[in-house]
Structure 1
């Protein structure tokens, strides 16, 4: 039997360690190890607290089968971090292995022990609640990430099956699992060269033929929207395939490959893969129970949905905040507590001073449908006020639009009180819901079918939700209806998401947030990879 060079050195290193340990009394070995652990852990209060509580014993570097299983499970998790869109280089498992192999003394082992725990904690938090801090990437991502106590990771790990512990860390949602599957599929597509040639045209219509039509046919087949065909014309089958593509990308479904459709069709596998990895990071930011019933507003999808026990109960189109710097809808979660039927619109101060005050300076009777009130809520006489004397800072009045069909909030608003002053509501501007892209509001979310949305919410607390709602509406007076069971609301931003059938849909990055997240992930070491099938 012969040994390779590497194997010989490994054996010699092991023998050297054993001989070194034999030459040192057992009590001194233990003391040196524990002193090293205490010293190395002192710079991290969570790690220090854990080791203090367990008497500075090893959980990684000991010779027991349990320690070996823990080491092996950690290395496997770190080496497959790419599966989750995380950078293996951030954890550097090979460096950990090298440090373990090179440890010669109890002190060395104590230092390695703490280093392994440090890497373990970094990975555990990253894969469970995200690599990035959302608000540092974009100030309007104000989501409260459900961070776990770092010490608890170590405590729970020592009480668990190592493999089972790592398996339970990532979000255990259908969405996260489906995104991971799609990620692997896209990585294989990258290795195969993607979807082929991009379509060299500005617009293609049914009935056309030619080289650009053939290229679009091939691309639609590669994407899975068109069955294999030798047709060289933009026929009925290709029209249906374009419609399916448009539907899966949130575009107007007309079967015509216009400029917007072709821009989306020509996006590369790499671009779509970036969206998926960003969506996985976003899913980690929300790694907590969302509520058996909850409301999901996806900003770039322009929809609001009611989800019951994981299934879609109701869906409506929405209008979200405009792309102007001060209007994009923020991302956060809260709890809907009540609805207001026949609401008044209390005009936000920002709109009062930036939009209405300049108009009032030009004409005191401008925006006459809005009441101007003093600090006690009393309506003032416009003719008795010189509006030109006020600035945005000194304007002393408030503005209110009474209940009416023309009210900016429509006939109902849905309240989940929050510091961002964001809520869901009706609107008299119904034509906006026919637009393909619907980013027009001052930040709040307008609903295309607010009455049906209200009926869905009220159905949990009355046998006649429509009758209850319409009775309040008919009064013409502002009426508050409490929800007996408050409903969590999650305002999210996903340019890649999956359907119940497991298909992936894509939307445009209307605020540029996903691009900023991808840049931040890239800076942290995340990179696209191609995987051979």
Structure 2
């Protein structure tokens, strides 16, 4: 588990001391006297000779300090078995979306090639320790918190000690192979999807769709070479079970197209456009990069959040909200998020109350940019918009025309962002839904209120309808605060590893990809 309790630390360290540097004799008795000690001043020599491992210097020093400067991976009988498990995982690290090779990989390979007669030297022990921290930093931790914030990610990061985590692994080496709780479950689903796309890449990927410049759309019954190309493309990614190579837009292609569009939150309209053809032409290498970027984002979320009794999760690029109880989706809704100039912030909060028939207290920035110019042109502007002055600010009165709709969900935060209803229902019919000033508009706001209030406050749907249409603001506190996570994932996989790709609405993938593909290990 990622969050190791401090009160368990002493016990873990005791296990660690026995298991990490000692081997079992033939009678199964652990012999601590076989542990090898060394002079702590020699650590600096290792880092001088291996400067690319200095990024792990703090962790390595902490590890050996806790071990009272004894070898971790070797005893007088040789290397402990768990080192082989770790080495195998590092060799398969590409499957975890890690694109940069470990420093001094050749030296480590030569070390593990010596199955017999491997020397119990300090340099060898330190090489294995550095390999361990390379693995945990890249597969489990990801880039540091400061760097993730630079990409616009303000969700809380888990605080993990991989020195302590090693104690668990030494106790149960198979944990590294079988455990899928170190990251959120979506990480492992994307990992499965990554394997699929890497296999597609190994087979040559797919070609471009040559969509005719003089054609606007294709519909069922039309014939063109591009239709056959699209058929093959959908077959490669599993949206079609067969590829008959036909260039006729038949019902089979229509069904495969509908499957693809549904997976990507599109309306299955049975039409092929130039835009769709361009999307299907995106190279498999770019799709792999997108999966890797989103696996990295998964590393930044504490998996413990999925154990919350209730959770509201919004994925900005998917324009979707999910309300979960005990890890299972109770309600899913389309949402509208902030436009490019008013990006919805990636962060979390605790929903503590719901407001029915809300006022809209208009932000000063909107008052200056929109309200005052409107008043200058029209003296009746406030009255026509059902607005009023209130202590030097402007607010919109409750009602069906209120920009917040009939209900809002509050999780107090410095970003002044919340979830709310909207009278502009037509926006939910659009595929791209980045239109708001930063808050999240919820299509099924009334249903969300009913689901939450029925579970917590035993407030009936009828009472909620009355409160929403009362025209008088009413706040109701929740008996139990609900975590709200607003995240940013441009790739999302289902249980079978089928990956859905979403529009990178805030253009954040490229910057993160550059960090992952160019950073030094």
Shared fold by TM > 0.5? yes
- Structure 1 CA distance for aligned equivalents of residues 292 and 302 of structure 2: 15
Give the aligned length. Answer: 469
- Equivalent position SS for 2:121: helix
CA contact (8 A) 1:344 1:400 kept: yes
Which residue does 1:127 correspond to in 2?
Answer: 139
- The one of 208, 232, 254 aligned to 2:222: 208
Q: CA deviation at 1:223?
A: 2.9
Residues 1:89 and 2:101 aligned together: yes
Equivalents in 2 of 1:474, 1:250: separation in Å? Answer: 31
CA contact (8 A) 1:430 1:448 kept: yes
* Residue 435 (structure 1) shift: 0.9
Give the deviation of 1:515 after TM superposition. Answer: 2.2
Alignment check: 8 A CA contact 1:295 1:304 kept: yes
Query: Are residues 153 and 234 of structure 1, via their aligned partners in 2, closer, same or farther at CA, if it must alter by over 3 Å?
Result: same
Confirm or deny: 8 A CA contact 2:315 2:321 kept in the other structure: yes
Among 306, 312, 315, the residue aligned to 2:323? 306
Displacement of 1:273? 1.3
- 1:318 partnered with 2:335: yes
Q: Is 1:36 equivalent to 2:60 in the alignment?
A: no
- Aligned partner of 2:444 in structure 1 is 449
User: What are the residue-to-residue correspondences of 1:82-121 with 2, within 5 Å?
Assistant: 82-87=94-99, 89-98=101-110, 109-121=121-133
CA contact (8 A) 2:189 2:495 kept: no
1:30 Cα deviation from its structure 2 partner: 6.5
In 2, are the aligned partners of 1:339 and 1:480 still within 8 Å (CA)?
A: yes
CA contact (8 A) 2:354 2:477 kept: yes
Match of 2:357 among 339, 342, 350: 342
Q: Is the 8 A contact 1:307 1:313 kept in 2?
A: yes
Tell me, yes or no, if the aligned pair for 1:37 and 1:113 is still in contact at 8 Å. Answer: no
Secondary structure in structure 1 of the residue aligned to 2:219: coil
Q: Does 1:351 align with 2:366?
A: yes
Q: 1:408 aligns with which of 391, 403, 407?
A: 403
| Residue 313 of structure 2 is aligned to residue 296 of structure 1 | yes
Map 1:424-439 → 2, pairs under 5 A: 424-439=419-434
Deviation at 1:205, TM superposition (A): 2.3
Note if contact 1:321-1:445 (Cα within 8 Å) is conserved in structure 2. Answer: yes
Counterpart check, 1:69 vs 2:81: yes
> Are the equivalent residues in 2 in contact too, given 1:316–1:447 (CA < 8 A)?
yes
Asked if structure 2 preserves the Cα contact closer than 8 Å seen for 1:370 and 1:399, the reply is yes
Q: Are the aligned partners of 2:100 and 2:517 in contact in 1 as well (CA < 8 Å)?
A: no
TM-score (norm 2): 0.81
Tell me the alpha carbon deviations over residues 199-222 of structure 1, each in whole angstroms, 9 at most, x when there is no partner.
Answer: 433532222113222222222333
* Structure 1 residue 409 displacement after superposition: 0.7
> What is the Cα deviation at residue 195 of structure 1?
2.7
Corresponding residue of 1:188: 199
Runs of at least 5 residues in structure 1 that lack an aligned partner in the other structure? 1-26, 378-396, 527-533
Contact kept, 8 Å, 1:38 with 1:48, in 2: the verdict is no
- Cα distance in 1 for partners of 2:287, 2:443 equals 29
Q: In structure 2, the residue corresponding to 1:257 is in which secondary structure?
A: strand
Q: Following the alignment from structure 2 to structure 1, what is the Cα–Cα distance between the partners of residues 224 and 146?
A: 47
| Matches of 2:37 and 2:230, distance apart in 1 | 71
Q: Which has the larger radius of gyration?
A: 1
Tell me which of 415, 419, 424 is aligned to 1:420: 415
Partner SS, residue 483 of structure 1: strand
Aligned Cα root-mean-square deviation (Å): 3.1
Distance 1:449 1:417, change over 3 A: same
CA contact (8 A) 1:135 1:142 kept: no
Structure 1 partner of 2:260 = 245
Q: CA deviation at 1:411?
A: 0.8
Q: Is this contact kept in 1: 2:407–2:421, CA < 8 A?
A: yes
Q: Residue 16 of structure 2 aligns with which residue?
A: none
Q: 2-side partners of 1:480 and 1:330: how far apart?
A: 25
Q: Residue 75 of structure 2 contacts residue 120 of structure 2 at CA under 8 Å; is this kept in 1?
A: no
Cα distance, 1:320 vs structure 2: 0.6
Alpha-carbon distance change, 166 to 95 in structure 1, aligned in 2, over 3 angstroms: farther
Residue 279 of structure 1 aligns to a residue whose secondary structure is: helix
Partner of 1:3: none
For residue 443 of structure 1, report the CA deviation from its aligned partner: 1.0
Find the counterpart in structure 2 of residue 506 from structure 1: 501
Distance 1:77 1:100, change over 3 A: closer
Which residue does 1:177 correspond to in 2? 188
Could you list the per-position Cα deviations for residues 360-397 of structure 1 after superposition, in whole angstroms to 9, with x for gaps in the alignment?
Answer: 45556544433233xxx3xxxxxxxxxxxxxxxxxxx4
1:319 touches 1:438 (CA, 8 Å); kept in 2? yes
Q: Which runs of 5+ in 2 are unaligned?
A: 1-32, 49-53
Normalising by structure 1, report the TM-score: 0.79
The secondary structure found in structure 2 opposite 1:313 is: strand
SS at the partner of 1:198?
A: coil
**Match runs of 1:278-289 below 5 Å:** 278-289=293-304
Select which of 37, 51, 65 maps to 1:52.
65
- For residues 31 and 129 of structure 1, the distance between their equivalents in structure 2, rounded to whole angstroms, comes to 30
Query: Deviation digits for residues 82-120 of structure 1, max 9, x if unmatched?
Result: 111113513544333557999xxxx99335534543442
Q: For residue 272 of structure 1, what is the aligned residue in structure 2?
A: 287
